[in-house]
Chains A and B, each alone.
Chain A
Amino acid sequence: EVQLLESGGGLVQPGGSLRLSCVASGITLTTYAMSWVRQAPGKGLEWVSSISGSGGSTYYADSVKGRFTISRDNSKNTLYVQMNSLRVEDAAVYYCALLGGWLPGDYWGQGTLVTVSS
């Protein structure tokens, strides 16, 4: 069974930083692009960032470009996102996801809550 487990969420002041992690089990992530998706309270889903299987290509939503950095350590089967210069509007549940696209598999973590408040 594939499981994605996020950690690292919490309360941070505006302007602060957080690093989220996502550990995968039941699947070897090496060949898969991975993504972060967020959902603000009571709002819809927002794609945040993706990284290719090798880590050589990264993609960001305009809303986080220049502030967030996605990375992965395939030896640890782990995905990360470093979030700097956090804003109130970054507050959300952050999901780690293997968005399947054309592939039959599509997997999500349970989410980790990031609160940005003074």
Chain B
Amino acid sequence: DIQMTQSPSSLSASVGDTVTITCRTSQGIRNDLGWYQQKPGKAPKRLIYAASSLQSGVPSRFSGSGSGTEFTLTISSLQPEDFATYFCLHHNYYPQTFGQGTKVEIK
């Protein structure tokens, strides 16, 4: 099974900051990875698919990059509504695995 290592587990940032979240996989997964945002009490919402493709309707301040074993989600110019928890998910094969999550908090 593929192991996912997401970092950091939490971070504090201010409105307008740029933040970066990383997921590393134990095996190469090409670009078979998505990024999700989850707010308390809500279902996750996908932001990025195929590592770098922006989900329709998602602001362009969200971007994804990477392939193989290292992937990055970048949020440029953080907005108040971006304070949430973010997860990566690989779908290279089963079992699919989520990263541990990164909670983005207000500084």
Contact = CB atoms under 8 A, between A and B. Distances in A.
Contacts of A60: 95
Contact of B98 (A46, A106, A109): A46
Interface string B74-100: 000000000000010101001111111
B46 to A, nearest CB: 4
Interface string A69-98: 000000000000000000000000001000
A32 interface: no
A44 B101 contact: yes
B34 interface: yes
Contacts of A61: 95
B75 to A, nearest CB: 19
B98 to A, nearest CB: 4
Interface residues of B, number: 24
SS class, residues of chain A in contact with chain B: loop
A7 to B, nearest CB: 15
Contacts of B45: 108
Interface string B31-53: 01010101000011110011001
A50 B45 CA distance: 18
A47 B98 contact: yes
Nearest to A59: B94
A95 B43 contact: yes
A2 to B, nearest CB: 12
A61 B45 CA distance: 22
Interface of B: 32, 34, 36, 38, 43-46, 49-50, 53, 55-56, 87, 89, 91, 94-101
